[in-house]
Structure 1
């Protein structure tokens, strides 16, 4: 049976001593911790307000887009959209009748 080295035993005793001393005390005084918690809470409150504004704006834009699409698809505009010609693919590099 092999015997552990003295360095290994010393390290083991050091770890046991650290575990036995308990948790490390708070690095900040309570007053500083309370101020940090208040700042953290205030930041979350501000982020919640921003999130609500973004959600409201997206909902308004979706409603406006729906109104615009309904207006475009209305019968009084359909004759402008239905030209009888095939649609032109603007991303296609080969356009008929165009000089190369």
Structure 2
């Protein structure tokens, strides 16, 4: 990925392909040597109470940074690129709870 915009476009494109069932897309990449996480939710996921902002904030906390955004699309980032796998696992764990 060359930019956070590229990652955001990928996340929204994937979300558009997932149909009507509840879906959450969580993508992570290192952009300009910094970790970035994008979370996108569809209408059904939001109707079930899943919002992108808190999930992005959770992931960003693991990365040593901050995040947030709208209920349908949010991003976070930090300084610890090595923690990117753990940040993605944190979102998965939160969704499973």
Q: Same fold (TM over 0.5)?
A: no
Quickly name the TM-score band, shorter chain normalised: under 0.3
> Comparing both structures, which one devotes a greater share of its residues to strand?
2
Greater C-alpha radius of gyration: 1
Instruction: Identify the structure with bigger relative contact order (alpha carbons < 8 Å, sequence gap 6+).
Output: 2
> Comparing both structures, which one devotes a greater share of its residues to helix?
1
What's the TM-score, normalizing by structure 1? Answer: 0.19
